Amino acid sequence: MTELSGAVVLVAGASGGLGSRVAARLAERGATVVRAGRAGGALTGPDAYVADLREPTGPASLVSAALQAHGRLDGIVVAAGVVAFGPADAVADETLDELVQTNFLAPVRLLRDGAEALAASAADGREPFVVTISGVVSESPTAGMAAYSASKAGLAAFVSAASREFRRRGVRVLDARPGHTETGLADHPVAGTAPSFGAALDPDAVAERIVTAIVDGEKDLPSSAF
């Protein structure tokens, strides 16, 4: 069991459908939640910070803000992300940049920039963790979503390798790969139009499953877990 009471957890993408639900559940279980969104998002309050994660310095600024406010960091949940739709042979440069910067580079930098603080948490006897949300597309890259799938598969590969390194420092890193979830993400793509997905997962159930995995010490959350 990972004790959330008193833990300091940074949730990036806390204004989003999944991030807001995960943040609320972590807080209900006693965690101090540092919520991050980008300018224009709906986050307010003392522990809310603004950073555009496309900026290379965005992730480090959030880690610094959490450390400055609370003196330590015991967990990171990366629920920031964007989606794009459209044929692979017509994807625009701006779309590629935004997908790679937001879905791949930002979580990689958050892991890197939070590593030292998380290792310190482990050295203090806590059970620090990181959760990324790559999604089912990293297991099953999807036609019409090639660039999105690739940005997420790259993240899943990084986490798979990095989790073995982090484990040696007492930090658990897991990637969650839910299928299509009714958060509204597909209604505001950075390019293209969503296809008809059929049945969607319930965002409350997906968020609850992620928090259960954190508390229970699970090491991976494949699509079959949702």
Point out which residues bind ligand NAP (CB under 6 A). 13, 15-19, 37-38, 40-41, 52-54, 79-83, 102, 133, 135, 178, 180-181, 183-185
Nearest distance from C-beta of residue 50 to ligand NAP, angstroms:
9
Please tell me the distance from the alpha carbon of residue 175 to that of residue 139, in angstroms, as a whole number: 11
Closer to ligand NAP by Cβ: residue 9 or 18: 18
Cβ–Cβ < 8 Å for 149, 99: no
Residue found under tokens 């979580």? 107
Closer to ligand NAP by Cβ: residue 119 or 139: 139
Nearest residue to ligand NAP, scored by beta-carbon proximity: 81
Closer to ligand NAP by Cβ: residue 119 or 194: 194
Closer to ligand NAP by Cβ: residue 105 or 122: 105
Going by DSSP bridges, is the β-strand pair 129-133/8-12 parallel, antiparallel, or unpaired? Answer: unpaired
Nearest-5° Cα angle at 139, 75 to 113: 30
**Strand ranges inside 7-112, DSSP E:** 8-12, 32-37, 48-50, 75-78
Per 3-state DSSP, what percentage of the chain is helix, strand, and coil (rounded to 5)? Answer: 45, 15, 40
Nearest distance from C-beta of residue 86 to ligand NAP, angstroms:
16
Nearest distance from C-beta of residue 65 to ligand NAP, angstroms:
14
Residue found under tokens 């940074």? 10
Nearest distance from C-beta of residue 60 to ligand NAP, angstroms:
14
Nearest distance from C-beta of residue 79 to ligand NAP, angstroms:
4
The SS3 call for residue 206 is: helix
Closer to ligand NAP by Cβ: residue 82 or 122: 82
